[in-house]
Chain A
Amino acid sequence: MKKTDHGIVVIVIYVDDLIITGDSDADIFDLKKLLKQKFEMKDLGELHYFLGIEVVQSPKGIWLLQRQYALNKLSKYGMMGCKPISIPLEQNVKLSANEGDLVEDTTMYRHIVGSLIYMTIIRPDLNYAVGVVSQFMQTPRKPHLDAVRRILRYIKHTLQCGIFYEAKSQLQVHGYTNADWAGNVSERKSTSGFMFSFGSGVVSWNNKKQPIVALSSMEAEYRGATITTCEVIWLQKLLLDLG
C-alpha cells in the first residue's frame, strides 16, 4: 500500500495475482504502467475473477460468488444429481470421532473437505459445518462422510449465494462472538466463533474448537471473547492503515 500526496493506492498480492485499487484512477494507471515495465504482467482490467471467486461489480455494490468452483466440485464428486437441502448439518446430531464404520477412500474424504474449506472463504454459512467435518480428517467414518455429502447438498441448494457488499453503506465495524460449552462429545472441548461485518457485509469470521477443556460455560465464553478481541485489534490496525 502506498499513500501519495493526494491519495492512496492499495495493492493486494496473492503470489502472482494482484488486486489494485485506490482513490485516483490516474495513480492506478501509473502504477500499472510501472509494474508492466518491471515485470512481465497481464493486465486483466477490472476485477472479475480472483482465486476462484467471481466478482460482479455494479453501481449498487459488489457480489462475491463461487458458483463455478462449486459446480466443478459437485460434478467432480458425483453430486450433480443430488437432492438439495436447506441446512448444512443435521440438527442436534453430535458426530463422534470413534463411532461408525471407517471410510474406505480416506483420500477422497480429505479432497472433498479440502474443497469445502476453500469454499468457506466467501461462505460464512458453511464455516461451522465444514469446521465439524474437518475434525475427522485423520480417520473419517461413515457418519462423517454422510455429513460431508449433506454439506454438498446444501451447497447445491445455495449455488447462487455469496456475499454482497452494498456501495451505499456506512463504514462501520460490528462484531459478534459466541461459544458453546463442551459441544464436542468425545473430548468435551468447547467451540467458539466470531463474526465481523464492515459496511453492509461480513468480512471476517471464524469458528474454532478451543484447545483447552473449559470448566464452565463462562470460561468457554471468555476464551471465545479473547480470540475475538485479538481479531478486533488486528482489524483495527488494518483499517487504520487503509485510512
Chain B
Amino acid sequence: MSRYKARLVAKGYAQTYGIDYEETYSPVAKMTTVRAIIVMATTKGWSLHQMDVNNAFLHGDLQEEVYMEQPLGYVDQTRPNLVCRLKKTLYGLKQALRAWSDKIS
C-alpha cells in the first residue's frame, strides 16, 4: 500500500429540491462532437492535448445556501451544536456536477 485516500461526501439524498438545490442538469460533450473535433485536428495537423482536473467537484461555487452537520471525527468539541455553511460544492451534493460545469464554462 502506497497511500491512503479519503474523501468527504455530503449526504445529497437529504437535500430538498427548491431549498438546498435548484437545477441539477449539466451538459457533457456528445461523442460525435469529440470524434468530429478529432478528425478536424487530424486533417489540419493541429496537436491534440489532454488534461484532467483534480477533484473537479470541489471547485464548484455553491449558489444556494446549504448547511451540513460537522463531519464525524472533526466535530468542534467546544461548539458541537453548530453546523457548517458550505461555500463550495462537495462530492455527493446534487448540484456538484452542475456547479462545476458552470464554473468551467
Contacts and interface: CB of A to CB of B under 8 A. Distances in A.
Contacts of B42: 57, 61-62, 165-167, 199
| Chain B interface size range | 20 to 34
B80 interface: no
User: A-side binding surface: helix, strand, loop or mixed?
Assistant: strand
B38 A62 contact: yes
A158 interface: no
Contacts, number: 143
A57 B46 CA distance: 11
B14 to A, nearest CB: 24
| Chain A interface size range | 35 or more
28 contacts: A10-B40, A10-B41, A12-B37, A13-B28, A16-B56, A17-B51, A20-B48, A21-B37, A21-B47, A21-B49, A28-B47, A35-B51, A45-B49, A45-B50, A46-B48, A46-B50, A57-B42, A57-B48, A62-B48, A167-B42, A169-B43, A198-B36, A203-B35, A203-B36, A203-B39, A204-B32, A235-B36, A242-B37
Given A19-B34, A167-B43, 8 more contacts: A12-B37, A15-B56, A19-B49, A21-B46, A42-B54, A62-B42, A62-B48, A203-B32
